[in-house]
Amino acid sequence: MEQSFQTSRFLKLLKRQWLDLGKVYLSTLLIIVGILLFCYSIAYYSFMTNDYNIQNRIFSTNFRYPLFIVTSIIFLSLIGNHYFSHFGNKGRAIIDLMLPASRLEKFLASLFYTVFFGIAGLLLIYYIIDWAFILKMRSWYESMKFVPIDGEPVKNVNLVFPFMLDVFIPYAFPFVLAVGGLIVSLYHFGSLAFGRFAFIKITLSVTVLIGIIGFIWVKFAQMFFNGRIPIEEKQLRIQWDLEPLQVFTWVICLIIGFIWMLCYLKFKEKEV
């Protein structure tokens, strides 16, 4: 098979693979949509039926942060693992490897479906659902007047912002994309390296790695802070510091590049 890249052949490969992968991706997206709608519905019902003050009502919208993290990890790990999962079956692997496309075209197709299509689809559905939720919240705020200390009534409909605009743009959005790409690349490599039960194996490996990193982090924290007392108390808040975040983003991108290089070499080995 000629190993050069041809656009027409690459597009045909994408179309052919969509017939196999489209149902899986769309069904996984629908499951994520169902989870999001269920959680948002519960939050909205609790928001409207409980007698919260304004501060508690605003704070009650913070469920979106952990929800986004959890659903993103679930979705990206599933699609990252699924693309090459057939390599655990020799019959299906031979059929896939004999497709009339070059190695580079197959590899780029895997990038398109797992990274670009997967992350873009996830962000799109989350943005649409979150935007609808925020519009509903703002309609409630528009019917209220907030009276400050001086007694002058003021209407404020900007107390709650869409999740994407509030957190990810412009400071942390590249970092979020990088983390998503890292999750996909890890499970992508796991499906090639481990074969059968790849999802379980890579999940256990990542869990152990995170546990080791967390243990080292705690030990360093104990080393630096044990026996010391704070000289002042401040409210604990998450603050995005742009420069360290950019450094972390570039480090993650380098790790992703290294993992994808390993994926390509592993895929080449499978072809041989």
Q: Domain ranges in the chain?
A: 7-225+238-271
Q: Say which residues have a Cβ less than 8 Å from residue 255's Cβ, sequence separation at least 6.
A: 182
pLDDT at res. 169: 54
More confident residue, 229 or 238: 229
CA dihedral 22, 28, 33, 38 (to 10 degrees): 150
pLDDT at 236 over 50: no
pLDDT at 259 over 70: yes
Q: What is the pTM of this model?
A: 0.66
pLDDT at 23 over 60: yes
Span 140-164, pLDDT tens digits: 665 555 455 555 544 444 444 555 5
pLDDT at res. 190: 79
Query: How many CB atoms lie under 10 A from the CB of residue 82?
Result: 21
Mean pLDDT of the region 78-106: 68
pLDDT at res. 162: 53
Q: Return the minimum-mean-pLDDT range out of 118-122, 147-151, 222-226, 261-265.
A: 147-151
Give the integer Cα–Cα distance in Å for 190 and 76.
13
Work out the percent of the chain whose per-residue pLDDT is above 90: 0
Give the integer Cα–Cα distance in Å for 266 and 6.
23
Q: CA 69, 123, 21, 112 torsion: positive or negative?
A: negative
More confident residue, 121 or 245: 121
pLDDT at 235 over 50: no
Mean pLDDT of the region 186-199: 76
Give the mean pLDDT of the chain.
72
